[in-house]
Amino acid sequence: MSAPQDIAERKMQFLFALRSKGVTDQRVLHAMEKIDRGPFVRGLFATRAYEDMPLPIACGQTISQPSVVGLMTQALNVQPRDKVLEVGTGSGYQAAILSQLARRVYTVDRHRRLVREASELFRELDLTNITAMTSDGSFGLPEQAPFDRIIVTAAAEDPPGPLLAQLKINGIMVVPVGQSNAVQSLIKVTRTESGFDYDELRPVRFVPLLEGLGRDG
């Protein structure tokens, strides 16, 4: 067990690391201060929850690096009335941050176990505006479309067509694009009246977006 002052100190360093890596949006920083990353990192790596590192979670997946979560959330420019779709629930941490900024968050993962564990955490933390579901997110979530914002937290070769189709006009999607294990680029797609604008934001490294459901479900 760590003393309370150690935890306070680590949380201060956590926020400092976010700012120094370019997370400057006050609403995003506030959400990341409020949502404790600790409960989203289970087991062996729990003590490293406040380090700016990706960490292993169940089903061979990873919880993203906090500064990358911050930069992606910032690029998404979420507004209070927004309906957001996240593809790649993983630990649920990114969805929890989004829940502080949006009206409603839908998050999907191909692993049933990850969805179950994240849903339990959302209930414990009283994050009532998140709905987590098991499905192949490359097809989006047609029954809830269209979305104001879409965030994909696994790397696709190209932005998936069904996700582009489920974005509202003036909507924004943030997605890592590129071959798995190679350098990927974080792309911001904005839907306009006449098509899509693409901005390349920064190099990133994510687990791949895979087809179908995971073997545990």
Token pair, residue 50, equals 């406040």
Beta carbon of residue 114, minimum distance to ligand SAH (angstroms, whole number):
5
Residue of 32, 87, 173, 204 interacting with ligand SAH (CB under 6 A): 87
Binding range to ligand SAH, per CB under 6 A, among 1-9, 73-81, 131-139, 174-182: 131-139
74 binds ligand SAH (CB under 6 A): no
Taking alpha carbons only, the member of 186, 176, 165 closest to residue 208 is 176
63 binds ligand SAH (CB under 6 A): yes
Residue of 18, 64, 83, 148 interacting with ligand SAH (CB under 6 A): 64
CA–CA distance, 195 with 206 (Å, rounded to integer)? 27
Beta carbon of residue 57, minimum distance to ligand SAH (angstroms, whole number):
6
CA–CA distance, 98 with 79 (Å, rounded to integer)? 10
- What x/- string results for residues 104 through 123 when contact with ligand SAH is judged by CB under 6 A? ----xxxx--x---------
Binders of ligand SAH among residues 191 to 210 (CB under 6 A) are 207, 209-210
Question: Is 91 marked active-site?
Answer: no
Cα 128 versus chain centre, distance: 17
178 binds ligand SAH (CB under 6 A): no
Beta bridge partners of 108: 87, 133
Handedness of CA 23, 26, 29, 31 (dihedral sign): negative
Beta bridge partners of 132: 107
99 binds ligand SAH (CB under 6 A): no
Token pair, residue 43, equals 């087991």
176 binds ligand SAH (CB under 6 A): no
* Type of residue found at 20: S
Give, in order, the Cα–Cα distances in Å from 118 to each of 87, 107, 127: 13, 10, 11
Q: Which is nearer to ligand SAH, 63 or 173 (CB)?
A: 63
Q: Which residues bind ligand SAH (CB under 6 A)?
A: 61-64, 87-88, 90-91, 93-94, 108-111, 114, 136-138, 153-154, 207, 209-210, 214
